[in-house]
Amino acid sequence: MSEPAWTLFMCFLKCSSSEDHVNITAALGQVVSLPCRVSSNISVTVVEWSRLDLEPRYVFVYRIGSPNPDDQNPAFKNRVELEDSQMEDGDVSLILMNVTSEDRGRYKCRVVQSRTKMMMRIINLDVRQPGDAAEDKGGGGCTVGNAGPAVRVSVVALAVSAVVGFVIFRK
């Protein structure tokens, strides 16, 4: 494979992501936004941010027009809020303040907009020490782990096509 084609392939592999699965890295003590968006033309009736490894599992709950702190895990009280409390433009992203190592995990954003419209998104949050050498040095925040199954299949198909094309070209 030629150098420009290989570079393009690696960039595609590195920065591809899926709309329903995202990896986020935050440093201890940081404020981080866990992204989640829905259609803005349908009103939101339920927003549930949860972690299944917790009991109670809810990080943030919004039902019937207001937040419901009674169902919230105590570790997140007074540390989470919606990016846009009005949920304008479908933004139901969660702001997590003063990130701790215990915040590391798999978050699920579940949004109900009507009886027939529901959306879920998975966010993997990794927490590191500030200035950790293992942090992505690429600057773009993309990691191979962001790639969803459809993107990985596309990347494999692209790689196979490139190898076959290279073999045919060499002959």
Domain boundaries, the chain: 1-17+142-171, 21-132
pLDDT band for 121, please (50, 70, 90 cuts). very high
Residue 25 to residues 28, 38, 64, 126, Cα–Cα distance (Å): 10, 23, 32, 5
Note every long-range contact of 78-87, with CB atoms under 8 Å and residues 24 or more positions apart, other chains counting.
Answer: 80/49, 82/47, 83/33, 87/44, 87/47
Nearest residue to 48 via CA among 122, 105, 101: 122
Place of tokens 């392939």: 9
The confidence score (pLDDT) of residue 127 equals 96
pLDDT band for 151, please (50, 70, 90 cuts). very low
The answer to whether residue 53 scores a pLDDT higher than 90 is yes
CB-CB contact of 159 with 17 (8 Å): no
* Whole-prediction pTM: 0.66
Instruction: Choose between 5 and 39: higher pLDDT.
Output: 39
151/24 Cα distance (integer angstroms): 18
149/33 Cα distance (integer angstroms): 24
The answer to whether residue 26 scores a pLDDT higher than 70 is yes
pLDDT band for 27, please (50, 70, 90 cuts). very high
The answer to whether residue 157 scores a pLDDT higher than 70 is no
pLDDT band for 131, please (50, 70, 90 cuts). confident
The confidence score (pLDDT) of residue 71 equals 87
The confidence score (pLDDT) of residue 39 equals 85
pLDDT band for 64, please (50, 70, 90 cuts). confident
CATH T-level assignment (fold) for domain 21-132: Immunoglobulin-like (2.60.40)
